Amino acid sequence: MMGKWSNKTDKKAGAAAFSDPLAPRAYAYEQRRLPFYRRIIPFAEAYLPRGTGWGLSVSFLVATCLYGATLGGENKTALERMSSVFGLKVEAVLITGQKEVTEAEILQVLGINENSSLLTFDAYKARKSLEAISWISEAAVTKLYPNKLQVSIKEQQPFALWQRGQLVSLIAYDGSVLSDHIDPEFSDLPMVVGNGAQRKAADLFEMLAQYPSIARKTRAVVYVSERRWDLYFKNGVQAKLPEVDVEDALDRLLAFDDDGSLSRKDITIVDMRLKDRTFVRMSKDAAERRREALRSLGAKVPEEVET
């Protein structure tokens, strides 16, 4: 049977003394049943300075209010000013990998100004905004505390010139438009003509890469009715490819050019659309019309060519 606790106090030890040997075990059991905060209060009172609890509570409330205000966009300016005092103001932006995109464009997208704080800067949002620029395929934005931003850019490679009507654009391999302004350094890129041609051109040029002699002669490709391709060579000759079995048609075109037939001045059209035969057209009027079409695409056709 559990005995009664003694009210005597061991003055030397400063702890309660028990008259019954089972009393400490019962006391420990009762302590475990108390809530956690009730158990740590005696420890905190013994080891922490007075007022620590109030200080932590006030600090937590202030931090919560500041965080909530920041999420609401109401206190960003105040945080920027406060962070600048602690040296967290953006002092430098390190940009690498850009060539066609200017640093001014990148800084404008980032929204960096004299009051920008590294603490409140949203690196994820900045990366997404940079990747929305047509020239940029990938971007990385890293905060370098206390006061720097590092921006790494990977630009898309120009692939071809895409013409539809009178508008000519520079496109990437995936068909995305990079720019409607064509710099002279890109003027020798292959011309891709027609609606939908920008999405299908990569597949055709991958196929042409297996026929280097034909690829070297090709100046422009035209997507006809969004079904098949016509090749326009640099000397003005046109080759009509079928809708299906394109590789077979290119094999026959390569054999046809074995003796340099595609370089002959009297040939204007080589029609490969039928699998069992090849048509060659030689017409002065047709050649004239074809020369005008090639000139409109940018091909250089000598005036003295006879057909």
Question: Of the candidates 146, 134, 175, which has an alpha carbon nearest to the alpha carbon of residue 84?
Answer: 146
Alpha helix segments (H runs only) across the chain:
23-33, 36-47, 52-71, 76-85, 103-110, 123-131, 197-208, 212-217, 246-256, 284-297
Q: How confident is the model at residue 51 (pLDDT cuts 50, 70, 90)?
A: low
pLDDT for the residue 112: 87
Percent of the chain with pLDDT over 90: 48
Position 285: which residue type? D
CA distance 160 to 193: 10
CB 23 within 8 A of CB 31: no
Q: How confident is the model at residue 135 (pLDDT cuts 50, 70, 90)?
A: very high
Residue owning tokens 């020798």: 188
Q: Quote the mean pLDDT of the chain.
A: 79
Task: Give the range among 29-38, 49-58, 261-270 with minimum mean pLDDT.
Answer: 29-38
pLDDT above 90 (res 106): yes
pLDDT for the residue 69: 52
pLDDT for the residue 290: 60
Better pLDDT: 295 or 112: 112
CA distance 116 to 92: 11
CA distance 152 to 92: 14
Could you read off the pLDDT of 160-187 as tens digits, one per residue? 999 998 999 999 999 999 999 999 999 9
CB 17 within 8 A of CB 8: yes
User: Rounded to 5 degrees, what are φ and ψ at 92?
Assistant: -150, 145
CB 109 within 8 A of CB 133: yes
For residue 184, say if its preceding peptide bond is cis, omega within 30 degrees of 0: no
Could you read off the pLDDT of 11-46 as tens digits, one per residue? 444 444 445 554 555 555 555 555 655 556 565 556
Q: Which of 50-54, 118-122, 158-162, 262-266 has the highest mean pLDDT?
A: 158-162
Better pLDDT: 20 or 220: 220
pLDDT above 50 (res 307): no
Q: Which of 18-27, 38-47, 211-220, 284-293 has the highest mean pLDDT?
A: 211-220
Better pLDDT: 73 or 258: 258
